[in-house]
Amino acid sequence: MAVFFGSNLSTFPTFLGDHFGDVLAYIYTYLFPAMWLCYVCYWGAMSGDVKAAERVEPASSRLMRLALLACAVALLWLPSIPLPLLNTRFLPQGALAFWIGAAITACGLLFSVWARRHLGKNWSQAVTLKEGHELITTGPYAMVRHPIYSGLLLGFLGCAVARGEWRGLLAVALVFVALWYKLKLEEKWMRVQFGEPYETYSRRVAALVPHII
């Protein structure tokens, strides 16, 4: 019996048949990995088409962020962790949480991809200032100042909902801390680079969640 992110096929009526059960087992096993794999592959394919950097964040800053993200991924994908309280559920087990989580993750990753495409050659993996860096305030950047990060947070939140266990929410918190630290450094540099136009933009548009934060 396949179990993935807290969704157990035994919750489905038996009259659906073995074949339908096999299809569900396949979906439950591979849907989330497939979404994230497509996302990572797209990011890798687009990473070369960027402007040259004038200033780059220290390696220690990038390593700290990667460590937090690695911990978040481990919390979500390991079958269990040696902290029983974090393995307990905050959502009931079943298909509903899985599909709601899948929808949230898909929307988050697609929003992040839209933001990446809209940012164009100004994008970078690390915190950088580019040669001829432009201030982008249209498209998804008219909704939030850091839509790529907003989409990533939604992606992890969807995984946490599908998992349905407290460790998933801890993973989202770790991702939030990592991205918040990164965006604060980015904004410090953007204020130096663009001055008052960026100050006006930051007063008008929230950082991650429209009208909230």
Residue 211 forms part of a structural domain:
no
**Which residues are CB-neighbours of 181 under 8 A, at least 6 positions away?**
61, 64, 65
pLDDT in tens, 83-94: 999 999 999 988
Give pLDDT, residue 50.
63
Give pLDDT, residue 109.
98
In angstroms, rounded to a whole number, what is the distance separating the alpha carbons of residues 106 and 19? 26
- Average pLDDT of 26-50? 87
In angstroms, rounded to a whole number, what is the distance separating the alpha carbons of residues 51 and 133? 8
Nearest to 132 by CA among 20, 54, 41: 54
Residue 9 forms part of a structural domain:
yes
Whether 146 and 184 have beta carbons less than 8 Å apart is answered as: no
Query: Count of domains in the chain?
Result: 1
In the predicted structure, residue 130 carries a pLDDT above the cut 60: no
Domain housing 64: 3-204
Q: What is the CATH number of the domain that holds 79?
A: 1.20.120.1630
In angstroms, rounded to a whole number, what is the distance separating the alpha carbons of residues 157 and 47? 25
Higher pLDDT, 76 or 53: 76
Residue 213 forms part of a structural domain:
no
Residue 212 forms part of a structural domain:
no
> pTM, whole model, 2 decimals?
0.87
Token output for 58: 């220290």
- Share above pLDDT 90 across residues of the chain, in percent, rounded to a whole number: 60
In the predicted structure, residue 146 carries a pLDDT above the cut 60: yes
pLDDT in tens, 111-128: 999 999 998 777 666 555
In the predicted structure, residue 63 carries a pLDDT above the cut 70: yes
CA 185 to centroid of chain Cα atoms = 19
Whether 124 and 130 have beta carbons less than 8 Å apart is answered as: yes
- Average pLDDT of 160-188? 95
Residue 9: pLDDT band by 50, 70, 90 thresholds? very low
- Average pLDDT of 143-172? 97
Give pLDDT, residue 47.
77
Residue 42 forms part of a structural domain:
yes
pLDDT in tens, 90-106: 999 888 999 999 999 99
Residue 143 forms part of a structural domain:
yes
Give pLDDT, residue 53.
58
In the predicted structure, residue 68 carries a pLDDT above the cut 70: yes
